[in-house]
Copies of this chain bind each other. A is one copy, B any other.
């Protein structure tokens, strides 16, 4: 543990960005909600300039949109947006799974296995939000194992937009489907089979896609 991480030295900009991002992802600030610079500034006890930078930041992340001189608002998503998020997420996660499998280590295997075990245990219970978090944790582990900073960043962006939709629609994952459906994926990565891992990762997400009743063509032929 690095000492430097214990001393909170993050800029107010970053901290405020985290809070605002979290609020959007949690659904506290629902899609379409208007965000006024001055109001946020007072709310967070910061100046308008600082908030301004934060909003531009979140704009780049695709969480808020701005109409010139009119104002900021939390993004609203339509079917096209949902489709974009699904296809992108599946593709990025496919790449991550492939890379993770290709460079898997013993340590990586145990990390992955423990994340998977934890998810399975959570699926025994009925705390849907906990299951959702467990599922995300597993996926995040795979992304981390791919050791690809840009991939991780882009995946995070997609995931955040996805989460903001989920929260607004008040959806959770189906616990029966979540648990076992990752078995093949985890196995493929641990076995170091990149090609298969990629396929399984994409199948996982496109499978969920159909669950949502979307009309999109599955990415896996």
Does A64 lie at the interface of the complex (its beta carbon under 8 Å from any beta carbon of B)? Answer: no
Most buried by B among A95, A98, A149, A158: A95
Residues 35-57 of A at the B interface (beta carbon under 8 Å): 49, 52-53, 56-57
Number of interface residues of A (CB under 8 A): 35
Chain B residues lying within 8 Å of A60, measured Cβ to Cβ, are 57, 60-61
Chain B residues lying within 8 Å of A52, measured Cβ to Cβ, are 49, 53
Complex CA–CA separation, A219 to B221 (angstroms): 18
Chain B residues lying within 8 Å of A56, measured Cβ to Cβ, are 13, 53, 56-57
What sequence of 0s and 1s flags, for each residue 189-216 of chain A, a beta carbon within 8 Å of any chain B beta carbon? 0000011000000000000000000000
* Smallest beta-carbon distance A98→chain B, Å: 8
Complex CA–CA separation, A84 to B146 (angstroms): 10
Q: Is the interface of A mostly helix, strand, loop or mixed?
A: helix
Does A9 lie at the interface of the complex (its beta carbon under 8 Å from any beta carbon of B)? Answer: yes
Does A88 lie at the interface of the complex (its beta carbon under 8 Å from any beta carbon of B)? Answer: yes
What sequence of 0s and 1s flags, for each residue 58-99 of chain A, a beta carbon within 8 Å of any chain B beta carbon? 001110000010000000000000001101100110110011
Q: Knowing A49-B49, A56-B53, A150-B158, say if A95 contacts B87 (CB, 8 Å).
A: yes
Does A129 lie at the interface of the complex (its beta carbon under 8 Å from any beta carbon of B)? Answer: no
Complex CA–CA separation, A53 to B57 (angstroms): 9
Which residue of chain B has its CB nearest to the CB of A11?
B68
Chain B residues lying within 8 Å of A49, measured Cβ to Cβ, are 49, 52
Q: Report A's interface with B, CB cutoff 8 A.
A: 9, 11, 13, 49, 52-53, 56-57, 60-62, 68, 84-85, 87-88, 91-92, 94-95, 98-99, 102, 148-151, 153-154, 158, 194-195, 217, 219, 221
The 4 closest A-B pairs by CB, nearest first: A60-B60, A84-B150, A91-B95, A53-B56
A-B contact pairs, 10 of them (CB 8 A): A9-B68, A49-B52, A62-B150, A87-B99, A88-B148, A88-B150, A91-B94, A91-B95, A154-B154, A194-B221
